[in-house]
Amino acid sequence: MMAAKRSGAGSKRARAAPQPAQEVPGEPPLSRDRIVATALELLDAQGLDGLTMRRLADRLGSGAMSLYWHVDNKEEVFDLALDSVLEYRGPPQMVESQDWRADVVHMLEDWRASMLRHPWSASLLPRRAFGPNILGRLELLSKTLSRAGVADADLNVAIWSLWNYVMGATITRGNFDLSDDDRAAAQQRLASERYPTIERSRLLLDDDWDGAFRKGLDFLLDGLAPDRNFGCKIG
């Protein structure tokens, strides 16, 4: 939690030369990186609606319009914030891995976890042009599946199926934030009306998100895998 609240008008008056470049730690000069970092803070703290150009500038100790020198518009702030969330800090090379399936699971769980660390991010991804970091993740995923033996003709279907599943799971989990009261009320509604099956299974009370994600992913991979040698009850 770096506060960086404006500490009086000092920084503005302290200039003596045309380029102050002062070392006042409270107010470094504006920059793309600083804007993105502060946007992340704001988004994490206040959610999607909490990000406002004016509030962002405020937090940076600058006038609202100063941002527009570094950034085209608010859309670009979202693009940059999202891309920064999606940076992959995985093993630099997983060339020699024997267990491609474990690699895929790890990549997808890391992707999901990265987005869940910033719950606003997943909803942002589908409607945005693909940034470098998500493309990097898709490339790595694609390469791994290809090495595992997925035919070129099936690659896109495999990638999009996994994409769909991960995005659906993450967007849902990131937005499904019921209080205990909400949950009780929802379950109550199920009971009082005509939803006997999902009432009995307590669908809306289930909260083993991680476990459910993993299990569904396994089903999907069972289907996608070229050499599936399990998951069959009848041969």
Partner DNA sequence: ACCTGAACACCGTTCAAGT
Query: Residue 87's closest CA among 52, 159, 53, 37?
Result: 37
- Beta carbons within 8 Å of 88's beta carbon, 6+ residues apart: 110, 114, 133, 136, 137, 140
Q: How many degrees, rounded to 5, is the angle at CA 94 between CA 168 and CA 87?
A: 45
Residue 95 tokens read as 């060339």
Residue 54 binds which of a second copy, DNA, none (CB < 5-8 A, kind-dependent) = DNA
Closer Cβ to a second copy, 29 or 196, answer by number: 196
Residue 47 as a binder of DNA (CB under 7 A): the answer is: no
Residue 43 as a binder of a second copy (CB under 8 A): the answer is: no
Residues 35, 77 contacting (CB under 8 angstroms): yes
Question: Site for DNA (CB under 7 A): which residue of 24, 48, 54, 219?
Answer: 54
Please give the backbone phi and psi of residue 222, each rounded to the nearest 5 degrees, phi first: -55, -40
Closer Cβ to a second copy, 68 or 130, answer by number: 130
The whole-angstrom distance between residue 116's C-alpha and the CA centroid of its chain comes to 6
Interacting positions 133-192 with a second copy (CB under 8 A): 135-136, 138-139, 142-143, 146, 152, 155-157, 159-161, 163-169, 171-172, 174-176, 182, 186, 189-190
Residue 73 as a binder of a second copy (CB under 8 A): the answer is: no
Q: How far is the CB of 121 from a second copy (least distance, A)?
A: 13
Question: Site for DNA (CB under 7 A): which residue of 38, 40, 59, 62?
Answer: 62
